[in-house]
Amino acid sequence: MSFSIVEAIVNLVTTVLGTVGLPGLFALMVVESFGLPIVPSEIVLPFAGFLVVEGTFSFWLALAAALGGDLLGALIAYAIGRTCRHRLAGVGIGHFRIDPAHLERMDRFFARRGEVAVVGARLLPVLRSYISYPAGTARMNPFRFAGYTLLGSTPFAVGFLYAGMVLRSHWNLVSQWFQVLDVAFIALVVLAVVYLLLCAVGVLEPFTLRRPRAPGATDGTLRPGAEPPPSGGARPPPP
């Protein structure tokens, strides 16, 4: 590619951290955790680690700034998800619409596995920036959400800060591995658009990979009080 998304982000990160310092690190991590626009912490943190080795930052202050920004951005996204819950029902295009059943399914998932989902997502690139929205929509306890966000974010931040410290002036080797994100990001966007279009025209059901059921079709389950048909599929004669 003549223009690299990752290269542009690297230039932005190095400029902000080099001129603004720790407040810039805090601000970049807020944006990264909020998820919009995309500023990968996998680039922010290694360069911050390099500045720790250079003596520009203290490791503990850099870690505190990173975790503080991470948590604030996550709480903002959580608040948006929680505040907009009542506006989601009915939102969509064509057959792709969010209905109360989808929200109830999300509620049940976060009631059973919310803590594991938040910690696990905070350890994963990209996904870590967006888990806060469904957690807020599912009305996960905010104090538990904050605690598990920090629990997952701490090893992630320490690991990438340390990577930057070890690589020193070659910290940008980390970012070179993320050149593949240029292609992966575009492919992900294309797949998401195709999926949404298939849901909108009714080929797929929203939030699943199943084809929609034909009108009047059943899933084989019996309604309460209904008797099973006799073997062979024959219906009994009328009385």
Question: For the purposes of burial, counting CB atoms within 10 Å of the CB of 120, is it exposed (0-12), middle (13-18) or buried (19 or more)?
Answer: middle
- Spatial separation of the C-alpha atoms in residues 159 and 35, rounded to whole Å: 20
Question: Which tokens hold the place of 165?
Answer: 């410290």
pLDDT at 230: 54
Q: 10-residue block means of pLDDT along the chain (239 residues)?
A: 63 88 94 83 88 92 96 92 72 57 78 88 84 86 93 94 83 61 62 66 57 51 51 52
pLDDT at 146: 94
pLDDT at 2: 40
Tell me phi and psi for residue 145, to 5 degrees: -60, -45
Residue in the structure block whose two tokens are 């992900």: 188
CB 120 within 8 A of CB 152: yes
Dihedral sign for Cα 149, 155, 156, 157, please. Answer: positive
N-terminal to C-terminal alpha carbon distance within the chain: 76
pLDDT at 128: 86
CB neighbours (10 Å) of residue 110? 21
Cis omega before residue 37 (within 30°)? yes
Residue in the structure block whose two tokens are 């080099």: 18
pLDDT at 112: 87
pTM, 2 dp: 0.70
pLDDT at 106: 79
CB 85 within 8 A of CB 171: no
pLDDT at 35: 81
CB neighbours (10 Å) of residue 212? 14
